[in-house]
C-alpha cells in the first residue's frame, strides 16, 4: 500500500467520522425526511373490506408483529421502542386520517429503518387488514353495519338544540 492511498483512506475516514458526528442521535428525529411513497402506491385501493372478524384477526397480528414497537394501543410506546433511535409512529395520531390506505399499506410492505419490511413475511391481504385495523386506532371504521355514534366533545358541552338522534345516518 503506497502513501497516497493511505492518505486517501485517512481523509475518507476523517470525513466519515465528521458526517457521522454531525448527524447526532438527538437530531435524528427532526432530520427524518417524510416517506417518499410512490404515486402508484397512493392510487391503490384497499381490496379488504373491514369486518368484525377481519379486524379481530388483524388486531391479533398487530399484537404479534407490531406492538413490540408501536405499542398495544398503537401509540408508539412498545417495549422495543426505547432502544430505537427513531420513534415508532403513533397510530392513534388523527393526522393519519389524511393518509390514504395505499400509503399505509406501502409503508408496512417496504418499511424503513428501524421498521422492518413485511414484504414476503405477511400476505398482501394481511397488510391491507392491518391498514383497516390501524384505521380503528385513530378513526372508527366506516362499515355499513357500523352505527355512527355522534361524537361528544367533553370539553365543549353540546348545546341542547344539537342533540343527534341515534341512528341518524352521517353524510358518509
Ligand atoms: C422494530 C420496530 C417496529 C416494528 C416491529 C414495526 N414498526 Fe412500524 N414503524 C417503526 C418506526 C421506527 C416507524 C417510523 C419510521 C420513520 O418515520 O421513518 C414506523 C412507522 C410505521 C408506519 C408509518 C406511519 C406513518 O406516519 O404513516 C406504519 C403505517 C407502520 N409503522 C406500521 C407498522 C405495522 C402494521 C407493523 C406490524 C406489521 C409495524 N409497523 C411494525 C417501527 C416498527
**Which residue from 109, 117, 71 is spatially nearest to 93, judged by alpha carbons?**
71
CATH number reported for the structural domain that contains residue 133 in this entry? 1.10.760.10
Judged against a pLDDT cut of 80, whether residue 134 lies above it is answered with: yes
Per-residue pLDDT reduced to its tens digit, 78-94: 999 999 999 999 999 99
pTM > 0.85: no
Judged against a pLDDT cut of 90, whether residue 14 lies above it is answered with: no
Atom of ligand 1 nearest to the CA of 134: 35
Could you tell me if residue 152 is inside a domain? Answer: no
What value, to the nearest 5°, has the Cα angle with vertex 167 and ends 162 and 134? 95
Is residue 28 in contact with ligand 1, taking CB distance under 6 Å? Answer: no
**pLDDT at residue number 16:** 47
What value, to the nearest 5°, has the Cα angle with vertex 160 and ends 156 and 164? 90
Grid coordinates in use for 40? 402508484
**Which residue from 103, 171, 106 is spatially nearest to 142, judged by alpha carbons?**
171
Could you tell me if residue 163 is inside a domain? Answer: no
Give the rounded percent of residues in the chain with a pLDDT score beyond 70: 62
Q: Please give the tally of structural domains in the chain.
A: 1
**Domain span including residue 103:** 47-140
d(CA 41, CA 92): 22
Whose C-alpha lies nearest to ligand 1, atom 41? Answer: 66
Amino acid at each position: 500500500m503506497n502513501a497516497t492511498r493511505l492518505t486517501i483512506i485517512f481523509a475518507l475516514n476523517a470525513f466519515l467520522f465528521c458526517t457521522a458526528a454531525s448527524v447526532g442521535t438527538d437530531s435524528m428525529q427532526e432530520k427524518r425526511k417524510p416517506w417518499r411513497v410512490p404515486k402508484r402506491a397512493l392510487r391503490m385501493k384497499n381490496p379488504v373490506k373491514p369486518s368484525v372478524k377481519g379486524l379481530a384477526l388483524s388486531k391479533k397480528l398487530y399484537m404479534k408483529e407490531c406492538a413490540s414497537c408501536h405499542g398495544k394501543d398503537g401509540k408508539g410506546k412498545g417495549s422495543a421502542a426505547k432502544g430505537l433511535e427513531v420513534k415508532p409512529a403513533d397510530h392513534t395520531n388523527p393526522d393519519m386520517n389524511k393518509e390514504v390506505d395505499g400509503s399505509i399499506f406501502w409503508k408496512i410492505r417496504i418499511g424503513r429503518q428501524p421498521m422492518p419490511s413485511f414484504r414476503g413475511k405477511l400476505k398482501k391481504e394481511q397488510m391491507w387488514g392491518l391498514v383497516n385495523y390501524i384505521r380503528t386506532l385513530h378513526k372508527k371504521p366506516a362499515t355499513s353495519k357500523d352505527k355512527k355514534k355522534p361524537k361528544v366533545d367533553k370539553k365543549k358541552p353540546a348545546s341542547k338544540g344539537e342533540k343527534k338522534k341515534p341512528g341518524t345516518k352521517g353524510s358518509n
